[in-house]
A and B are shown apart, each in its own frame.
Chain A
Amino acid sequence: MFFDTREGLALALPAAIFALLLFIAPVGILLSEAFQSDNGWTLQGYIDFFAKPLNRTVFLRTLKLGILVAGTAAVIGYAAAFCIVNLSASARGRVFGLVVLPLMISPVARTYAWIVILGRTGIVNDTIVGLGLSDTPIRLLFTETAVFLGLLQLFMPLMIISLVSAMENIPRDVIPAARVLGANWFQVFFKVILPLTKEGLVVGGTLVFTGALTAYITPAILGGSKVLMLETLLYQRVNVANDFVSASVIAMILIVMSFSANLLLKRIATARK
């Protein structure tokens, strides 16, 4: 408890200076490059970026995969979270530990595991050929499917954690009450569970969508240069072409997409009240 606001400000000042000097200022300078030209401020960097078909394709692919990963994580996450909150306390702890476990493993190791699983001699192709579904192994690596699976596995724990946290706050007798009053499971989910867990969905959705947009290792390893996403394109522009203007444009687009997703999800959650 502070005696006056000056004490509070004084305590916050070191952290504020740190953030200003080492984060906000450098990021601001970097991002402002995309708005500068020899003749002053301009949006030409953005016009040039979206004028190129490859950039438009990469932008739309990133958006599509971000939405698909967040949407699929939400569907699977709700089912998993519902199961977890209905387990006994000891079982819940163990299962929750399993959900969190992948977050403790390096994304590089997790992504390389997918190379082994999805490769021509991997378990998926062995099963497909073994069941006679195809005569030869099918191409799974370096496709959008591979990137989607990698991103989903990478970020789904964040969605499950957010939804479990939200579901634990639902009073235990609400769902049985809805069922007694004649609601089917479809109605229970949309009329009871979803409205009561929307905050968890907003948090989980934002984390998963933003994570999928900004992930680098997974798209780089599982997609390569054939499935470019904005983050891998950004790296390419900086490290191959030394083109910081395009890189700044991409960084700004990623920031805008992340904030927009958060605002949109909050708006949807609020509208359902």
Chain B
Amino acid sequence: MKTTISLAVLSCALATNAFAQDKTLTISVYSFAQDAYKEALYDPFEEICGCDLVVETGNSVERMAKIEANANDPIIDMAVISSHDALSLARKDLVAALDVSKLSNHAKLYPAAQDPIGGNRAVGYTFYASSIVYRTDLVEINSWADLLNEKLAGNVSLPNITGTQGPLTLMMLAKAAGNDSTDYSSVISSIGEHADDIVTFYSRSSELAQLMNQEEVIAAPVGRFAWSRFKSSPLPFAWAEPAEGQAGGMNVMIMTKGNGNEELAYQFMDYWLSTEVQTRVAEALIDSPANTEVIVSDDVADNLTYGAELINSLSILDPAEIINNRETWVEQWNTEVIK
């Protein structure tokens, strides 16, 4: 009898497991704040959908390479990446056009997030401002041009050209020099001339936070998502509001073409864009909201890129310009800056 019951329980368990595995959504995300995301987004969604979420993490290049390598039989159903990386995948025909009527929260997004790369091939879920963090007791920052000023020589760090912040810094340095085009050759040459004055070209905001807290660097451009690392420091750091304004960027959601799991992917994307989840994610200081209906306290807002006035004021670099010019920028950077 006991054996019969055990076998029945085992069969039920296996059947339940098999059913759950039938409803599985595989997502590809940035590796940061995964514990916080699990609490704010993944676990509640699994309860709602009765499905399993398989979360794949890694840097953008690794994750894009995986999507490309499995183009004929996608493993990843949906991914979150930068807008220019999304455009890069879209140009390789790896991204499905979204039926935004299936995203009930789509209309709540800021206009810039609703169709950031055209053809409804992506939808923005978070914005980030980019400006200069600096030591108020040692220096004053009024313009992006101050980064290459003599008073900061030997104490400034710039983002590497290969990261997301690199092109934004080029754009703002060009603006400071009166150049509104995307021909950044003179800016890169200027950085090359000052290369010895620049402590290092950082790749990750965590690396910069460590250098600034160790007083190796007293000013550097960085994304607002990293501000909490500086705000909690005992050193007097401030977020600059340069004359040329702040740069901005956006991360987006995409759905892989032909993944066969579209309905579940739509459900997940819509849930992530909902006011409820975007508020939870913002209050956990993970990502700034792209949903206009999100309301957070002043304390929380101070850590984020929050509010229509700020978001509409950001200088956002066209993803197509980044894709079209990146190779040229990197080539010149390697020749004149890294040497």
Cross-chain contact B202 with A54 (CB below 8 angstroms): no
Q: Which of B62, B216, B334 contacts A52 (CB 8 A)?
A: B334
Residues 115-150 of chain A: 1 if any B CB is under 8 Å from the residue's CB, otherwise 0?
110011100000000000000000101100000000
Residues 49-60 of chain A: 1 if any B CB is under 8 Å from the residue's CB, otherwise 0?
000111001000
- Interface residues of A toward B: which range? 20 to 34
Cross-chain contact B199 with A239 (CB below 8 angstroms): no
Binds B, one of A11-19, A103-111, A161-169, A220-228: A220-228
Cross-chain contact A239 with B62 (CB below 8 angstroms): yes
How many residues does chain B have at the interface if contact means C-beta atoms less than 8 Å apart?
A: 23
Is A236 part of the binding interface, using a Cβ–Cβ cutoff of 8 Å?
yes
Cross-chain contact A119 with B65 (CB below 8 angstroms): no
Q: How far is the CA of A1 from the CA of B303 in the complex (A)?
A: 72
Is A21 part of the binding interface, using a Cβ–Cβ cutoff of 8 Å?
no
Cross-chain contact B199 with A225 (CB below 8 angstroms): no
Give every chain B residue within 8 A of A225 (Cβ-Cβ): 160, 200-203, 338
Is B2 part of the binding interface, using a Cβ–Cβ cutoff of 8 Å?
no
Cross-chain contact A241 with B339 (CB below 8 angstroms): no
Is A242 part of the binding interface, using a Cβ–Cβ cutoff of 8 Å?
yes
Q: Which of B65, B200, B202 contacts A242 (CB 8 A)?
A: B65
Is B214 part of the binding interface, using a Cβ–Cβ cutoff of 8 Å?
yes
Q: How far is the CA of A238 from the CA of B58 in the complex (A)?
A: 13
Select from chain A the residue with minimum beta-carbon distance to B155: A120
CB distance from A58 to the nearest CB of B (A): 9
Cross-chain contact A121 with B334 (CB below 8 angstroms): no
CB distance from A72 to the nearest CB of B (A): 25
Give every chain B residue within 8 A of A139 (Cβ-Cβ): 154, 199
Question: B180-224: which have CB < 8 Å to A?
Answer: 195, 198-203, 214-216
Q: How far is the CA of A239 from the CA of B203 in the complex (A)?
A: 12
Is A240 part of the binding interface, using a Cβ–Cβ cutoff of 8 Å?
yes
Cross-chain contact B162 with A241 (CB below 8 angstroms): yes
Select from chain A the residue with minimum beta-carbon distance to B210: A115
Q: Given A52-B334, A239-B62, are A120 and B215 also a contact pair (CB < 8 Å)?
A: yes
Q: How far is the CA of A239 from the CA of B62 in the complex (A)?
A: 7
Is B5 part of the binding interface, using a Cβ–Cβ cutoff of 8 Å?
no
Question: A43-91: which have CB < 8 Å to B?
Answer: 52-54, 57
Q: Given A54-B338, A120-B216, are A240 and B162 also a contact pair (CB < 8 Å)?
A: yes
Q: Most B CB atoms within 10 A — which of A57, A228, A240?
A: A240
Is B61 part of the binding interface, using a Cβ–Cβ cutoff of 8 Å?
yes
Q: How far is the CA of A224 from the CA of B338 in the complex (A)?
A: 11
Give every chain B residue within 8 A of A228 (Cβ-Cβ): 338
Cross-chain contact A239 with B61 (CB below 8 angstroms): yes
Q: How far is the CA of A120 from the CA of B334 in the complex (A)?
A: 27
Cross-chain contact A142 with B200 (CB below 8 angstroms): yes
Cross-chain contact B214 with A121 (CB below 8 angstroms): yes
Give every chain B residue within 8 A of A226 (Cβ-Cβ): 195, 198, 200-201, 338
Give every chain B residue within 8 A of A52 (Cβ-Cβ): 334
CB distance from A223 to the nearest CB of B (A): 9
Q: Given A52-B334, A119-B216, A120-B216, are A224 and B62 also a contact pair (CB < 8 Å)?
A: no
Q: Most A CB atoms within 10 A — which of B216, B330, B335?
A: B216
Contact surface of B with A, Cβ cutoff 8 Å: 59, 61-62, 64-65, 154, 160, 162, 195, 198-203, 214-216, 330, 334-335, 338-339
What are 9 A-B pairs with beta-carbon distances under 8 A?
A54-B335, A119-B214, A120-B215, A121-B215, A225-B202, A226-B195, A239-B59, A239-B62, A242-B64
